């Protein structure tokens, strides 16, 4: 049907793809909601998400309570930047490791930036984990029923330091080489188990190619995997037990000390 437009000329027909029905913004929202509903009807994820997000938190919590999440974001930063570094890094002692790091810094697009994020992120994570542990300690948040959260936290702290130790060797320059030899020797002085630990770290009696591959595997697969699992458990406990109230609020009645989070 010809529609007469302004000045008496027939108006161009509207192609179906641009009709109001298909281009209105709600159509896209409805389509995505249908997909979300389809997944949720089968996986029931929203139930768990609601349990995670709509929690009661104590009155009086402050910025110090964000240090755990900040540590987690530092960990995620390490994981993401680490994946990109692993795409270019070569764990070879005959020039490969050191050269590949130089290549990342000098030639790869944003390589120096990503390498810097990973290197400085490691120190940031150590600082944050200690601050978080300090908050938990000084607020008495390690006491019943949160002892298990503390114990898992201690393991996470050890694993974070082990990440630092194993990562330090990877550039394989003079400093990382000699510092790691010192570190392995210090481990060797542990009572009874010392010699076994340093043998395990070196991958034999000699410090060399196997040591670097071993450190690389531990640094990018073993410890991150363990940490991801333990962080999951740590956060599950935080949600299950709830956040502890600050010491100055704890003294009050429980129903006064709790308020519902408004999201
Ligand atoms: C990768 C390391 C860690 C991550 C990602 C992490 C994450 C978190 C998060 C997100 C919370 C929620 C409340 C808050 O931020 O304070 C929390 C609570 C807690 N964390 Fe950690 N944490 C880590 C290491 C540690 C360490 C080293 C300790 C102690 C040795 C620890 C002990 C605890 C305890 C006891 C709670 C419960 C605190 C409360 O209920 O007030 N965590 N953690």
Measured between alpha carbons, how far is 234 from 241 in angstroms, rounded to an integer?
11
Residue located via tokens 């956060």: 235
**Beta-carbon contacts of residue 105 (< 8 Å; ≥ 6 apart):** 111, 112, 115
Q: Which of 78, 166, 169 is nearest to 121 (CA)?
A: 78
Which amino acid residue places its CA nearest to atom 28 of ligand 1? 153
Determine whether the shortest distance from the Cβ of 78 to ligand 1 is under 6 A. Answer: no
Rounded mean pLDDT for each run of 10 residues along the chain, 263 residues in total: 49 58 75 92 92 89 97 98 98 92 98 98 98 98 97 98 98 96 97 96 94 97 98 97 92 57 51
Determine whether the shortest distance from the Cβ of 243 to ligand 1 is under 6 A. Answer: yes
State residue 29's pLDDT score.
85
Which amino acid residue places its CA nearest to atom 36 of ligand 1? 149
214 in a structural domain: yes
Q: Which of 149, 171, 151, 156 is nearest to 93 (CA)?
A: 171
223 in a structural domain: yes
What is the Å distance from ligand 1's center to 177 Cα?
33
Strand partners, 260: 56
Which amino acid residue places its CA nearest to atom 5 of ligand 1? 72
What letter does residue 7 receive in the DSSP assignment?
G
- Determine how many CB atoms are found less than 10 A away from the CB of residue 226: 14
State residue 9's pLDDT score.
61
What is the Å distance from ligand 1's center to 129 Cα?
8
State residue 3's pLDDT score.
44
83 in a structural domain: yes
147 in a structural domain: yes
Strand partners, 3: 11
What is the Å distance from ligand 1's center to 39 Cα?
32
State residue 56's pLDDT score.
87
Determine whether the shortest distance from the Cβ of 141 to ligand 1 is under 6 A. Answer: yes
Provide the residue range defining the domain that includes 143.
62-241
Residue located via tokens 């929203």: 46
CATH of the domain at 121: 1.20.810.10
Q: Which of 257, 248, 263, 258 is nearest to 56 (CA)?
A: 258
163 in a structural domain: yes
- Length of the chain equals 263
Question: Best of 69, 132, 155, 241 to mutate for ligand 1, by most ligand atoms within 8 A of CB?
Answer: 132
Are residues 205 and 89 in contact, defined by beta-carbon separation less than 8 angstroms? no
What is the Å distance from ligand 1's center to 196 Cα?
32
What is the Å distance from ligand 1's center to 48 Cα?
21
What is the Å distance from ligand 1's center to 203 Cα?
34
Measured between alpha carbons, how far is 59 from 259 in angstroms, rounded to an integer?
6
Which amino acid residue places its CA nearest to atom 27 of ligand 1? 153
Tokens of 42: 């089968």
Q: How many domains does the chain have?
A: 1
Helix orientation angle between 209-217 and 194-202, rounded to the nearest 10 degrees: 90
263 in a structural domain: no
Helix orientation angle between 45-53 and 25-43, rounded to the nearest 10 degrees: 100
State residue 25's pLDDT score.
74
Residue ranges of the alpha helices (H) in the chain? 20-23, 25-43, 45-53, 67-86, 96-106, 111-138, 147-169, 174-188, 194-202, 209-217, 223-241, 247-250, 254-257
- What is the atom index within ligand 1 of the atom nearest the CA of 151? 30
37 in a structural domain: no
- What is the atom index within ligand 1 of the atom nearest the CA of 157? 27
109 in a structural domain: yes
């Amino acid at each position: 049907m010809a529609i007469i437009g302004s000045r008496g000329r027939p108006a161009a027909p509207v192609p179906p793809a641009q009709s109001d029905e298909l281009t209105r913004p709600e159509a896209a929202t409805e389509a995505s909601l249908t997909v979300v509903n389809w997944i949720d009807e089968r996986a029931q994820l929203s139930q768990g998400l609601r349990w995670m997000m709509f929690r009661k938190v104590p009155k009086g919590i402050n910025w110090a309570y964000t240090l755990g999440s900040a540590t987690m974001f530092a960990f995620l930063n390490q994981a993401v930047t680490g994946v990109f570094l692993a795409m270019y890094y070569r764990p070879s002692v005959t020039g490969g490791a050191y050269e590949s790091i130089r290549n990342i810094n000098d030639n790869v697009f944003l390589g120096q930036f990503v390498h810097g994020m990973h290197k400085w992120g490691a120190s940031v994570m150590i600082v944050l984990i200690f601050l978080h542990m300090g908050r938990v300690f000084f607020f008495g948040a390690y006491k019943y029923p949160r002892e298990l959260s503390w114990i898992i936290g201690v393991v996470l702290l050890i694993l974070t330091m082990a990440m630092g130790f194993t990562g330090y060797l990877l550039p394989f320059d003079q400093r990382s080489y000699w510092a790691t030899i010192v570190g392995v020797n210090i481990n060797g002085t542990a009572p009874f188990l010392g010699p076994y630990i340093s043998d395990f770290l070196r991958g034999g009696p000699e410090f060399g190619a196997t040591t670097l591959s071993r450190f690389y595997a531990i640094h990018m697969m073993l410890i991150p995997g363990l940490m991801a699992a333990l962080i999951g458990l740590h956060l599950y406990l935080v949600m299950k037990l709830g956040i502890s109230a600050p010491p100055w609020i704890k003294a009050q009645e429980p129903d006064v000390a709790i308020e519902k989070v408004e999201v």
